[in-house]
């Protein structure tokens, strides 16, 4: 195997998820390489070496500054072809998924996504993927090389090791259409109040609340329980609740003692942010909502009826 791991970064650090995939790759192939693509990213190379990269390919160019996918497809497709990598791995993210998809088309290379594990069976790389809302585990493979894999968030932890981390510069050549899309602004929302990652109890609300006003029901329950309020991307994108409260792939990963999901369907991208909660209770009016597949207690019903009653019961108990 000769593996290349794409390392996303925010300019100053590499997310844990990407380092985890790199460490996993190093455990399967001691000669694993990493790709750092951007502007001013060379200084991140030692970090890549620390978590398993024998070689670090650095592509630096002002055109690569914006974290947009298509320029990265140009860089990676050349690199994979010139160096003959047979496997290219990504930690799932909005950027990584778009890069992986574009690379798959550019190289006519098979892409398997949502992989929770990678193993070698009979000398072949096999991906373990859960499908259909995690109701089934599937073994997936590739018929040709290069093989492309997108790893589900949180699957592998970074493991420190001392790898050579030889830095190699990459020539950058970018297609015209790849720079057509341009980043206009990046808004980072400031955190207000305590982080949901610290709360022992989270009362979380989704689109089933029906309106931003209904979040007050959850705030009252959270106050009675001594917890905090969390949310889904659907309500954050709709402007109902602030981004720092969002749980999931593009939000926070939480593992409280108790997670009460109200009006949340339980999409995979939400689940990856809360599945390690010790106890999960959910209220949803759709008996087939996927969240019931991973709730310790699921109540099929209307949250507008149940939540206020529960708040009263908790208050009465606490006196």
List of residues contacting ligand FAD (CB under 6 A)? 94, 206-208, 232-235, 246-251, 263-265, 267, 269-270, 273, 283-286, 289, 302-304
Picked from ligand FAD, other proteins, none, the partner binding residue 304 (CB below 5 to 8 A depending on kind) is ligand FAD
Task: Work out how close the CB of 55 gets to other proteins at its nearest, in angstroms, rounded to a whole number.
Answer: 26
Beta-carbon contacts of residue 82 (< 8 Å; ≥ 6 apart): none
Which of other proteins, ligand FAD, none sits in contact with 284, Cβ below 5 to 8 A by type?
Answer: ligand FAD
Nearer to other proteins, 57 or 113 (CB): 113
Contacts 24+ apart (CB under 8 A), 127-134: 133/266, 133/268, 133/290, 133/293, 134/268, 134/271, 134/290, 134/293, 134/294
Q: Per DSSP, what are the bridge partners of residue 127?
A: 118, 140
Q: Which is nearer to other proteins, 165 or 266 (CB)?
A: 266
What is the chain's alpha carbon radius of gyration, rounded to the nearest angstrom? 22
Q: Which residues pair with 230 in a beta bridge?
A: 204
* Cβ 99 vs Cβ 76: under 8 Å: yes
Q: Could you tell me the smallest distance in angstroms from the CB atom of residue 276 to ligand FAD?
A: 15
Neighbours of 72 (CB within 10 A): 26
Q: Which of ligand FAD, other proteins, none binds 270 (CB below 5-8 Å, type-dependent)?
A: ligand FAD
Q: How far apart are CA 86 and CA 144, in angstroms?
A: 9
28 binds, among other proteins, ligand FAD, none (CB under 5 to 8 A by kind): none
CB atoms within 10 A of CB 109: 20
Partner touching 138 among other proteins, ligand FAD, none, CB below 5 to 8 Å by kind: other proteins
Q: Which is nearer to ligand FAD, 38 or 263 (CB)?
A: 263
Cα(4)–Cα(52) distance, integer angstroms: 11
Cβ distance to ligand FAD smaller for residue 53 or 230: 230
Residue with smaller CB distance to ligand FAD, 160 or 286: 286
Query: Least distance (Å) from ligand FAD to the CB of residue 245?
Result: 11
Give the Å distances, CA to CA, from 133 to 101, 272, 293.
21, 11, 9
Smallest CA-to-CA distance from 93 within 256, 250, 214 is with: 250
Query: Which has the closest alpha carbon to 203: 241, 165, 177?
Result: 241
> How many whole angstroms separate alpha carbon 84 and alpha carbon 73?
16
Minimum CB separation of residue 176 from ligand FAD in Å reads 27
Work out how close the CB of 168 gets to other proteins at its nearest, in angstroms, rounded to a whole number: 25
Closest CB to other proteins among residues 27, 275: 275
**Closest-CB residue for ligand FAD?**
248
- What minimum distance in Å lies between the beta carbon of 3 and ligand FAD? 24
On the 0-12 / 13-18 / 19+ scale of CB atoms within 10 A, 305 is exposed
Residue 287: name its binding partner from other proteins, ligand FAD, none (Cβ under 5 to 8 Å by kind).
other proteins
Instruction: Give me the least distance between CB of 283 and ligand FAD, in Å please.
Output: 5
**Distance in angstroms (rounded) separating the CA atoms of residues 261 and 206:** 8
Least distance (Å) between residue 8 CB and ligand FAD: 13
| Residue 162 interacting partner from other proteins, ligand FAD, none (CB closer than 5 to 8 Å by kind) | none
3 vs 265, which CB is nearer to other proteins? Answer: 265
Residue 292 contact among other proteins, ligand FAD, none, beta carbon within 5 to 8 Å by kind: other proteins
Give CA–CA dist 15/23, Å, rounded. 13
């Amino acid at each position: 195997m000769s593996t290349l791991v794409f390392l996303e970064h925010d300019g100053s650090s590499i997310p844990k998820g990407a380092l985890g995939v790199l460490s996993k790759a190093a455990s399967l192939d001691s000669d694993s390489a990493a790709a750092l693509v951007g502007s001013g990213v060379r200084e991140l190379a030692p970090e890549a070496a620390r978590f398993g990269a024998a070689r670090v390919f650095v592509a630096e160019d002002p055109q690569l500054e914006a974290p947009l996918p298509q320029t990265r497809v140009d860089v990676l497709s050349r690199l994979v072809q010139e160096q003959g990598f047979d496997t290219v791995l990504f930690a799932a993210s909005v950027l990584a998924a778009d890069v992986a998809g574009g690379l798959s088309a550019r190289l006519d290379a098979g892409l398997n996504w949502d992989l929770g594990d990678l193993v070698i069976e009979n000398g072949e790389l096999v991906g373990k993927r859960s499908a259909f809302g995690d109701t089934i585990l599937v073994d997936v493979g590739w018929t040709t090389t290069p093989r492309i894999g997108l790893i589900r968030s949180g699957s592998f932890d970074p493991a420190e090791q001392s790898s050579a981390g030889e830095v190699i510069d990459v020539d950058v050549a970018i297609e015209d259409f790849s720079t057509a899309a341009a980043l206009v602004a990046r808004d980072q929302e400031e955190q207000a109040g305590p982080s949901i990652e610290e709360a022992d109890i989270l009362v979380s609300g989704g689109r089933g609340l029906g309106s931003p006003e209904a979040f007050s029901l959850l705030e009252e329950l959270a106050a009675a329980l001594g917890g905090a309020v969390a949310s889904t991307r659907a309500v954050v994108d709709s402007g109902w609740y602030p981004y720092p409260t969002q749980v999931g792939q593009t939000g926070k990963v939480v593992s409280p003692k108790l997670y009460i999901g109200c009006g949340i369907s339980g999409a995979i991208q939400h689940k990856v942010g809360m599945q390690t909660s010790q106890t999960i209770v959910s209220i949803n009016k759709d008996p087939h909502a996927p969240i019931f597949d991973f709730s310790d207690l699921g109540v099929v019903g209307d949250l507008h009826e149940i939540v206020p009653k529960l708040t009263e019961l908790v208050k009465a108990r606490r006196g």
